Copies of this chain bind each other. A is one copy, B any other.
């Protein structure tokens, strides 16, 4: 299962489900795509920027840069860091961060649900899928 992708739920035909990458350009250059959304979800689940980045195959520097970029773009920080404590300080996804994740995944789900007919029509035009029928 590719972590960046979302499956098209409820697809009943034997064709492999469609997957989606959604990249939103909001306002003056703020960009929100599958990488940032997944990073935030993994920070939420692990409580650690380095662990989240490592799980996605990115360096700590890269993961931290993406978090800084998100925190700078949003009014409220999406991730906060606590220093000290167990493991030398962890990271926490804020309420704003959880809202961002929810909205991003909701837009993806809307696309797959409301665009299902068009996506099926596109899939039906493909060579491999035609060969399975």
Interface residues of A (CB under 8 A from B): 5, 15-16, 18-28, 30, 32-33, 72-76, 96, 99-100, 103-104, 106-107, 110-111, 114-115, 118-119, 121-123, 125-130
Contact = CB atoms under 8 A, between A and B. Distances in A.
A18 B104 CA distance: 13
Q: What is the count of identical protomers in the complex?
A: 2
Contacts of A119: 24, 26, 107
Contacts of A106: 115, 118
A125 to B, nearest CB: 5
Given A100-B125, A106-B118, A119-B107, A21 B18 contact: no
Contacts of A121: 99, 103
